[in-house]
Chain A
Amino acid sequence: MFQKHLSDTLAAYVDGQLPPAEAGAASAHVAECARCRATVDEYQSVAGMLRGLARVEAPASIWISIEQARPNATRHDVRRGRQIEARTLRAWALAAMVIMAIGAVALWQINRPGPYDVVRIDGGSSTGRVSIGEWIETDASSRTRIKIGVIGTVDIAPNTRMQLLAAQPNEHRLNLARGVISAQILAPPRLFFVETPSSTVVDLGCAYTMEVDEAGAGRLRVTSGWASLEWDQIESLVPAGASCPTRPGRGPGTPAFDDASARLQQALFDFDYSGGGRRAVDVVLAEARQRDTLTLWHLLSRVEPEQRSRIFDRIAALTPVPNGVTREQALALDPATLKLWREELAWTW
């Protein structure tokens, strides 16, 4: 009997891509033809192997090279630039008007209160905008980013719950109930705030990560610039490379550099939250290096008055006391003296 073997249509038949009529005819033929049946088996087996090929994760370096290779101006911008070059002064005047208009729009944007844009950064879809009073909550495998007007961004890690409290020209304020956020802010100090259950993070022009656990305890870690943790008259100033804990009902602890010794960090925690007292202070004084004057400067106003002189002496031993700072004024916690001293010590932080 004459049989027309399936050739070019065989793959389509195996893949289920033939129109119904052709598929029916092909099926009838395969049922009768041992040669085509064997080929179908072969193709199915190969298809199975091909489907087992693993997807490979693209290296992170590709995005970096895309960012670097990206032209600064789009073709449209370049074309527009060339046109402006060729035009007369009248065109320049027009361009100036356009720039002024753009400036006015930008100013309006800066002064415009929220909502903030929310953009997914984990490969999922965009979720639009978040308005005053709204919460953002990420699940265990989601990360997202919100734009803080024109002053920066906040990346929200998985399992984080956060609320937008204020979005005004002179105050951008979030409420971090739990989870982890990373903020990158380029703005004058004290414009961006994050409330947590145990203190407020105040941006002083910086990038930082703030984490808060289910119990409301938190830790601020600053990666560039400065931030402070503030609560009930307590203020902890945290520079880049340093961290500071915070606890509900107790507020911020004493900041320390992340590369400080483990003994110093443990003693500091004991002092702040476990009644470590003089013994803890002894360890901190013994372990302190020059840049740990950050910690010692904060301790000066937190230890019992009779211990202040020990702190003063240790700082003086690590870094010469600058002009304008006297022992008496420092031990009396004179605000201007402490500020001056901090500013001088900060050169080593």
Chain B
Amino acid sequence: MAPSNTVVISRKDQDVTPAVIDACRRGDRDAFRVLYEAYKDKVYSIALYFFHGDTAMAADVTQQVFLKLMGSMAQFRGDSAFSTWLYRFVVNACVDTTRSRSARADMTDPALLDTLPAADSLEDALANEHIAGSVRAAVSSLAPKLRIAILLRYFEDLSYAEMADVLQCSMGTVASRLSRGHEILARRLARIRNVAEKAR
């Protein structure tokens, strides 16, 4: 056991504490690095799945999000959870980028999607990769509003209330977008679901 005058640094506490947020608001760059490290993979992954596996676009969006965040930290009042505030930046960056590069953003490139890693790729790698690839392609085919809703709910595990806050719409709209997204995904993934169910 560490002596009483020892500050033990452990990764058990993974959350970004209010102290870190406060330090970021004061312009502390080291604190901002802590914040970045805590959220970079989330932001990058959402952008990557949103933009059909385009790593350059995902990196661009991630950079945009954190630069905007850096310039806006003083405005964070703590009225909502920090993560909710952050997701708003992510959604805005994804939507803005989609608008400005609409031709490119609406194009699904299967080769790009194939570069994304699959979950549990060590286990039944081929089958899992096939399923994961199909899921990624199906998500990519959704309209942007449905796509971001699906990602926030099933990839980031946000509640409907949090999603309503992030997307600045009602919970009813959230439910409606998710239902529509589900309906399309269920249709597009029907074949793969049958294969997966037979394999069980």
A interface residue numbers (CB < 8 A to B): 7-12, 14-15, 17, 39, 42-43, 45-47, 49-59, 61-63, 65-66, 69-70, 74-75, 117-128, 130, 133-139, 141-145, 147, 156, 161
Contact = CB atoms under 8 A, between A and B. Distances in A.
A159 to B, nearest CB: 11
Q: Which of B5, B7, B8, B182 has the most CB of A within 10 A?
A: B7
B38 interface: yes
A137 B7 contact: yes
B14 interface: yes
Nearest to B186: A42
B143 interface: no
A124 B11 contact: yes
A66 B67 contact: yes
B41 A57 contact: yes
Contacts of B135: 49-50, 52-53
Given A17-B175, A120-B34, A144-B9, 4 more contacts: A9-B179, A11-B181, A53-B155, A137-B9
8 contacts: A11-B181, A12-B178, A45-B186, A49-B193, A53-B136, A62-B63, A124-B14, A136-B9
Interface string B131-165: 11001100100000000001001110001100000
A130 B7 contact: yes
B86 interface: no
B62 A58 contact: yes
A139 B84 CA distance: 30
A43 B186 contact: yes
B109 to A, nearest CB: 16
A53 B6 contact: no
B48 interface: yes
A63 B11 contact: no
B2 interface: yes
B83 to A, nearest CB: 14
Contact of B153 (A7, A15, A74): A15
B5 A135 contact: yes
Nearest to A131: B5
8 tightest Cβ-Cβ pairs between the two chains A and B: A58-B44, A50-B154, A123-B37, A11-B178, A135-B6, A125-B17, A119-B30, A11-B179
Contacts of B196: 45, 49
Contact of B7 (A10, A118, A119): A118
Interface in B45-64: 45, 48-49, 55, 59, 62-63
A136 to B, nearest CB: 5
Q: Which of A7, A17, A58, A136 has the most CB of B within 10 A?
A: A58
Contact of B131 (A49, A62, A124, A136): A49
Contacts of B160: 12, 15, 17
A125 B40 contact: no
Given A50-B150, A58-B62, A123-B14, A75 B34 contact: no
A171 to B, nearest CB: 21
A142 B45 CA distance: 23
A63 B40 CA distance: 9
Given A75-B71, A125-B16, A142-B9, A9 B175 contact: yes
A8 B176 contact: yes
Nearest to A45: B193
B154 A12 contact: no
B41 A10 contact: no
A124 B182 contact: no
Given A8-B172, A66-B36, A75-B71, A128 B19 contact: yes
Contacts of B3: 135
B120 interface: yes
Contacts of B17: 125-126
A45 B193 CA distance: 7
Given A52-B132, A134-B7, A121 B119 contact: no
A14 B7 CA distance: 45
B159 A17 contact: yes
Contacts of A141: 11
A279 to B, nearest CB: 46
B95 interface: no
B166 interface: no
A315 B171 CA distance: 80
Nearest to B150: A50
Nearest to B3: A135
A62 B8 contact: no
B54 to A, nearest CB: 12
Contact of B182 (A17, A46, A126, A135): A46
A53 to B, nearest CB: 6
B10 interface: yes
Given A11-B175, A123-B14, A51 B7 contact: no
Contacts of B20: 125-126
